Structure 1
Amino acid sequence: MLYIIAGVSGSGKTTLGKLLAKHLNLPFYDADDFHPQSNIEKMKRGQALTDEDRFPWLLTLHDNLVEWNKQSGAILACSALKEKYRSILSGNNEVEIKWIFIVADNLLLKQRLHGRENHFFNPLLLESQLKTLELPDYGLKIPADLSLEQQLDMIIF
């Protein structure tokens, strides 16, 4: 089974994704690790990525999801902000994905982003991500302010 933990930067995708992967004994991947260097440099400078910047990255992630699906499955932490991005990731539903969206208020997100160390995401980009976010009607919505154990319980049960 493939799981994508989605949400804006600072919502807790990676932390929850690693915990879920350990619980389900599945490999964990962070979509940030698949960005080309040009995207990373752009985000470090505080410049929002365009759809054109994201397209090759999303295709790479889709290709990996197809391969991971052939194996035992995987957990992927990925912003997946727009519906068209989620469509690319799933290959227009070519692969079945369990979508989990972490939702958080701006204050919590800002606190988390400013407390981060060694991450290329410039906190100034949060507003652009929030404006871009298209929260879908499908998938599990998990509040970011719950404990990790509560979040995991919402997924597992």
Structure 2
Amino acid sequence: MPAAPVVLVTGVAGSGKTTVGRLLGDLLGWDFADADQFHPAANIAKMSAGVPLTDADRTPWLETIAGWIDEHRAAGRPAVVTCSALRRSYRTLLTEGRPEVLPVFLDGDRALIAERIARRGDHFFGPAMLDGQFRVLERPGPDEHILVLPVTRPAADLAALIAAAVLP
């Protein structure tokens, strides 16, 4: 059985990963997972307290997400998963050796993202953490083979663009 495709929706907090990912999963009828569900309680507590995660915090979390991706690929179940994957090394950990994974980066400027985060209010990730995300962010390079989409487009349009890119 060939490995199933998986779409990896990335970007800073507030870029619309969850909204776009859910819409895409619904549109395609694919499984959906938000990377936040894979965070251990200790990571959520740190972020809720405004303490940035370290690579030591992130690596086991990223490995868990990679495992979820591999389970879906092996089972032949197409899927969509969101993950900030702010650094190139994080994206590599999630995509290397997984040619069926289509990474997507939702790109937006800090002012727009800050406005979105301030409006949502019901998430453990507060506006104070956003500067840290932009400091850590390594925007995708042209050699990464990643679909870069502007967050200024409506979420439904972004989901449709991604669906068109992933479907034969």
Same fold (TM over 0.5): yes
Distance 1:156 1:96, change over 3 A: closer
Aligned to 2:12: 8
Gaps of 5+ in 1: none
Aligned to 2:146: 139
Instruction: Specify which of 72, 81, 85 is matched with residue 86 of structure 2.
Output: 81
Matched-pair contact (CA < 8 Å) for 2:24–2:160 = no
Aligned residues: 156
Gapped runs of 5+ residues in structure 2? none
Alpha-carbon deviations, 1:79-105, whole Å to 9, x = none? Answer: 011111112223x32453101110011
Consecutive aligned runs of 4 or more in structure 1 exceeding 6 Å deviation: none
SS in 1 for 2:24: helix
SS at match of 1:39: helix
- Structure 1 distance, partners of 2:136, 2:42, is 20
TM-superposed CA distance for 1:9, in Å, is 0.1
State the Cα deviation string for residues 46-84 of structure 1 (Å, max 9, x = none).
111110110110111111110011231210011011111
2:62 maps to: 58
Instruction: Indicate the RMSD between aligned Cα atoms, in angstroms.
Output: 1.3
Deviation at 1:116?
Answer: 1.2
Please say which of residues 104-113 and 116-125 is displaced more in the overlay: 116-125
Per-residue CA deviations over 1:99-129 (Å, capped at 9, x if unaligned) read 1110011111011101113211121111111
TM-score between the two structures when normalised by the length of structure 2: 0.88
Deviations 1:17-42 (A, max 9, x none): 00000111101100011001110000
What SS does structure 2 have at the residue aligned with 1:101? strand
TM-score (norm 1): 0.94
Alignment-derived partner of residue 158 in structure 2: 151
* Residue identity matched to 2:72: W
How many angstroms apart in 2 are the aligned matches of 1:118 and 1:148? 19
Distance 1:151 1:116 in 2: 20
